[in-house]
Copies of this chain bind each other. A is one copy, B any other.
Amino acid sequence: MPADAIEARAQGWRTLAALHARIEDGLARALSAEHGVSVSEYTVLDVLDRQDEHHMRMQQLSNAAVLSQSATTRLVTRLEDRGLLARFLCPTDRRGIYTELTPEGRELLEAARPTHDRVLTAALDDARELPELAPLVDALQALHA
């Protein structure tokens, strides 16, 4: 592989990392301030809600949130303590534990989603103004158009 192709990849990665950091930071502040949840927590609630059966095993969850198994346990425990989701044993394999949103969890999610979308839009528009990030923003828009 030619050297400039590698450099192009590295540069792409730096761009992606920069954009990610900006968005993540904005989301973290807004979600925490307005709804008391971290980005990971919001992600878990969101993923659970999008799930067909509305429940998941811990491992799927940790995969979706890109967290370690241990971190997932703690995150779910936090959310469970706040009454936002519930654990129940998997009937067919009692090692497994399902989690599902409670009504309170769904309520918070629906309250937080506008915040999430607003901040995300703002962050993207913001990044759109920076010459080094603008191309990636556009590419992102085009992905699911």
Contact = CB atoms under 8 A, between A and B. Distances in A.
Nearest to A113: B10
A21 B143 CA distance: 19
A136 to B, nearest CB: 6
Given A139-B139, A142-B139, A144-B8, A17 B16 contact: no
A49 B96 CA distance: 49
B12 A144 contact: yes
Interface string A100-136: 0000000000000000110011001000000000011
Interface string A23-63: 11100000000000000000100000000000000000000
| Interface range, A side | 35 or more
A78 interface: no
Contacts of A135: 143
A90 interface: no
Contacts of A6: 117, 121
A121 B6 CA distance: 8
